[in-house]
Every structure is written in structure tokens, then in C-alpha cells.
Amino acid sequence: MTNPVDLERTTDRAFQRVLLAVDGGEASLRAAQYTNALFSGRASIAAISVAQNPRTLFPLGAATQAFLSAARDELLSDARAALQRIGALFSGALETDVIDLSKRDGDTVQALLDTAAHWQADLIVMGARHHRGLLRWVEGAVSEPVTRRANSSLLLVPESCRARTDAPPQRILFALDGSANSLGALRMGLQLASADTQLRAIYVVDRAVHLFDIAPVDMLESAFHEEGRVALDLAGRIFASEGRTAETALIETHRTGDDVPHAIVRDAEQWNADLVVVGTHGRRGVARWFLGSVATRTLRLADTPVLLARVPELTQPT
């Protein structure tokens, strides 16, 4: 089993190949700014824009071939314009490509995932728009299925981001769940910190009563408290091994009307974090937490960039 404090070999090459997925919206512009601030000169960066197949946008029989051809040309033009717009932001080299869905099977999500796999991206960066509580991208819900299905880490930058996106983060919050994945995510997130970046690691004790809890609430709380103390102690040892100092805190949800994602986002707002880092595919020893749902719901709520860090050696399919 991987030692959660000794993950150098797992994370020493994180974020070397960054894939930026863009459309023509402001969210993509913010994501591009952030990608430039974090990775220009430090990683290979490629930007893609997906042009929808016009046949999927109009009812069958409702459009002539000439109309479909004109619509395809317009969609391709829009995709190229989006890439040209963000290309001007980059101080370093940038590969670009337009994915034409009229020439291939699948949808935007599959095209993005296929491109990431083919290009061997270890990080996908996307802009996100909050709309009625859901993340929307490129005229549909793309962020959430990409979050569930991507094999690489994912960095989401909200359109209404309160943090600066033209500079690296100055205050990074790490949300731990007691798993090796979240501690590996901590190491990966540290690679985005400068010498002056302030750091904070939290563990959320879920005190809310859930109908599906099979153990007494007091027993669960006690287990969470113990697991949290261990997780934060391990985090402190990781920070020390990197020569860093950081705050750590055991925080709690309210008894009712609350959950772990809201607690994470509340703490991020109160501490004024400008980047939140969470691990995915982690498992609590006594209950559920980062089984995908907490990470996804945190994305829906956050008004800062969120890094969903996947440690490759710990997330291979079984």
C-alpha cells in the first residue's frame, strides 16, 4: 500500500501536459488567463475548441444540406475565433486545434476526453458557468461528466470567480478526507504554490444527520474526529517535508441543513482562499465522502478555481 506521506514518485511529474478546453464565453477567457499564469514556461499547453455537429442541433428534416453546410462553417469559425482570442493571452508556446464533430462520432465530452487521452494530458482546464446550481459549458452540462470520467486531474475556473485569474494563487486551501488520494492531491497542489503562498489544510467532520447512516451519529462523529486528527497530522508532516508551514483545522458541519461541500466552501470564503484543492476517488474508512459527489458539489458552489487532483498510481481502473 502506498505510504500517504511518501508520495514523491507519484506526484513529481504532475501538470507537465495541460489541455485547455475553450468556447467563446467569458468563463473560458478566465480559464485561459489562469492557465497562462500557472503554467506558461512550466508545462506544455494545448488549447482545443469543439465545433458542434449542426445535425445534432436541428431536428431531422428541418434543414437543407446548404443550411447545414453554412451552420457548420459558422460553428467552425466561432471555434477558431475562440482559440484566436485566448491565444493572445499566452506568453509562451501554445498548441491549438479545432475538433469538428461533424467529422467524427461522439459529443463534446467524449471529444474532449479522447483528445486528452491522445495528447496524454495530465491536467484538463475548463471554464465553468454557474446556472441554476449546475455547471454549464459549451451550451450544455460538460463539466460534470468530464469530472466523473476524466483520468487526469481537472482544474475548473468559474466565470464569476472572485479570485484573480491573471496571477498564481496566493492562498491555497486543501480539503482532506483521510485517504491517500487527498494527501497525494495535497502534494500535487503544492506544486502550484510559490514560496510566499499561504497554505491551509482542513478536514470536515460531518455532523449532519443522514437517513442512510447505519451507525449512531455520536459514533460516526467520534470516528470522523479521530480520522481527521490523523489526516491533518499526516498533512503537517507533508508540509514539513516540503519545507513549508501551513495552518490545519478540523471543522464541522452544522447538525441540519448542511453538508461537507458547503462547509468546504464556507471555510474557503472565510479564509479568503483563491484556490481550493480536493482529491477524487478517496474513501472514508467509516462513511462516504469523496466518492465523486462531494467533489462535484464543491465545484457547483465554489466561487474560486477548484483543482480536482487525481494521483495516477492511486486511480488506475481495477
Report whether 315 contacts 3 (CB < 8 A). Answer: no
In the numeric block, the cell 443550411 is attached to 67
Angle of helix 217-241 relative to helix 180-190, nearest 10 degrees? 40
Grid coordinates belonging to 113: 476526453
Report the distance separating Cα 225 and Cα 222, nearest Å.
5
- pLDDT for the residue numbered 147: 80
- pLDDT for the residue numbered 32: 96
Report the distance separating Cα 248 and Cα 203, nearest Å.
8
- pLDDT for the residue numbered 68: 82
- pLDDT for the residue numbered 277: 96
Report whether 35 contacts 166 (CB < 8 A). Answer: no
Angle of helix 65-87 relative to helix 26-39, nearest 10 degrees? 40
- pLDDT for the residue numbered 246: 96
Beta bridge pairs of residue 80:
none
Report whether 153 contacts 308 (CB < 8 A). Answer: yes
Report whether 146 contacts 128 (CB < 8 A). Answer: no
Point out the residues of the chain with pLDDT beneath 70: 1-13, 59-63, 130-141, 208-218, 281-293, 313-318
Neighbours of 141 (CB within 10 A): 14
Neighbours of 198 (CB within 10 A): 18
CATH code that applies to domain 166-314: 3.40.50.620
25-59 burial, b if ≥16 CB within 10 A, otherwise e?
A: bebbbbbbbbbbbbbbeebbbbbbbbbbbbeeeee
pLDDT in tens, 32-63: 999 999 999 999 999 999 998 887 777 665 55
Neighbours of 212 (CB within 10 A): 6
Closest CA to 126 of 111, 140, 146: 146
List own/partner pairs for 221-228 with CB under 8 A and 24 or more apart.
Answer: 223/285, 223/286, 224/284, 224/286, 224/287, 225/250, 227/178, 227/203, 227/284, 227/285, 227/286, 228/176, 228/178, 228/203, 228/204
Closest CA to 304 of 270, 265, 271: 265
- pLDDT for the residue numbered 313: 65
CATH fold label, 10-158: Rossmann fold (3.40.50)
The two domains 10-158 and 166-314 share their CATH topology (first three levels equal): yes
Spell out the domain ranges in the chain.
Answer: 10-158, 166-314
- pLDDT for the residue numbered 289: 43
- pLDDT for the residue numbered 106: 82
Contacts of 149 (CB under 8 A, 6+ apart): 109, 113
